[in-house]
């Protein structure tokens, strides 16, 4: 397959059976490939974001057909051209997790701290679920971070510990190791 163009395709709409197949069909039916994707049901809405690779004429055709496809699939669609995926970010991968009672401002406080340390967030996921026995809403944030050589892990841990004590949250930061082929 001669892939010349990359784009990020996003979709949002009422959850229903078959949305993922519909989206996959939009790409593969035009000779393309889904390279990466994240999909979830949030509230009653289905949301997807995908990195797709298509031959240039097929991508142009998909762009031209978006309005019709939105009506046909009952989804809000957007396509944003992007570049071919580059090499992974250089640095040390870490995993950050917070768990606490659900209160407003958790994501903002944690990400503001990361921004002050000039840390890139590769992935971030949150959810809220009832706690066992009490049913109290518990919030969890899970992030994959890349720390470059300028980041002091000791300073970052100290700042996270200060935030943890100030807000009464549980925050953990640990290296993320990936399995290396032998």
Give the model's confidence band at 138: pLDDT under 50 very low, under 70 low, under 90 confident, else very high. Answer: very high
Checking if the pLDDT of 137 tops 80, the result is yes
Q: What is the pLDDT of residues 94-118, one digit of tens each?
A: 999 999 999 999 999 999 999 999 9
Distance CA 125, CA 99 (A): 12
Which structural domains are found in the chain, ordered by start?
5-82 (3.30.70.260), 92-175 (3.30.70.260)
Which two structure tokens, joined as six digits, stand for 151?
Answer: 């980041």
Report the distance separating Cα 83 and Cα 177, nearest Å. 27
| Angstrom distances, CA of residue 181 to CA of 33, 90, 93, 154, 173 | 26, 19, 18, 30, 25
Q: What is the mean pLDDT of residues 26-37?
A: 94
118: left (phi over 0), alpha (psi -120 to 50) or beta: left
**Among candidate residues 18, 16, 22, the one with its CA nearest the CA of residue 41:** 16
What percentage of the chain reaches a pLDDT higher than 70?
Answer: 96
Residue 113 and residue 159 in contact, taking contact as beta carbons nearer than 8 Å: yes
Least confident of 54-68, 99-113, 166-180: 166-180
- What whole-number percentage of the chain has pLDDT above 90? 87
Q: How confident is the model at residue 90 (pLDDT cuts 50, 70, 90)?
A: confident
Q: Above 80 in pLDDT, residue 16?
A: yes
First to last CA, the chain: 30
pLDDT in tens, 140-151: 999 999 999 899
Give pLDDT, residue 3: 61
User: Mean pLDDT of all residues in the chain?
Assistant: 92
DSSP 157: H
* Burial class for 114, CB neighbours closer than 10 Å (0-12, 13-18, 19+): buried
Q: How far apart are CA 173 and CA 138, in angstroms?
A: 19
SS3 of 117, please? coil
Q: What is the pLDDT of residue 2?
A: 60
- Listed in sequence order, the DSSP H helices in 6-104 are 19-28, 56-73
For residue 176, which of 123, 125, 127, 139 has the smallest C-alpha distance? Answer: 123
Residue that is written with structure tokens 């503001």 in the block: 112
CB 137 within 8 A of CB 102: yes
């Amino acid at each position: 397959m001669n892939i010349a163009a990359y784009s990020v395709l996003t979709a949002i709409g009422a959850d229903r059976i078959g949305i993922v197949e519909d989206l996959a069909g939009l790409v593969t039916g035009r000779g393309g490939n889904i390279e990466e994707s994240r999909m979830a049901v949030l509230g009653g809405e289905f949301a997807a974001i995908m990195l797709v690779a298509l031959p240039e004429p097929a991508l142009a055709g998909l762009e031209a057909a978006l309005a019709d496809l939105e009506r046909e699939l009952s989804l809000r669609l957007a396509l944003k051209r992007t570049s071919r995926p580059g090499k992974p970010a250089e640095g040390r991968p870490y995993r950050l997790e917070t768990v606490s009672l659900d209160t407003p401002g958790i994501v903002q406080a944690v990400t503001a701290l990361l921004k002050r340390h000039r840390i890139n967030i590769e992935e971030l996921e949150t959810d809220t679920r009832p706690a066992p026995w009490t049913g109290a809403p518990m919030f969890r944030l899970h992030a994959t971070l890349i720390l470059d050589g300028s980041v002091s892990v000791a300073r970052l841990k100290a700042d996270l510990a200060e935030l943890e004590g100030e807000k009464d949250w549980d925050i953990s930061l640990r290296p993320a190791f990936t399995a290396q082929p032998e």
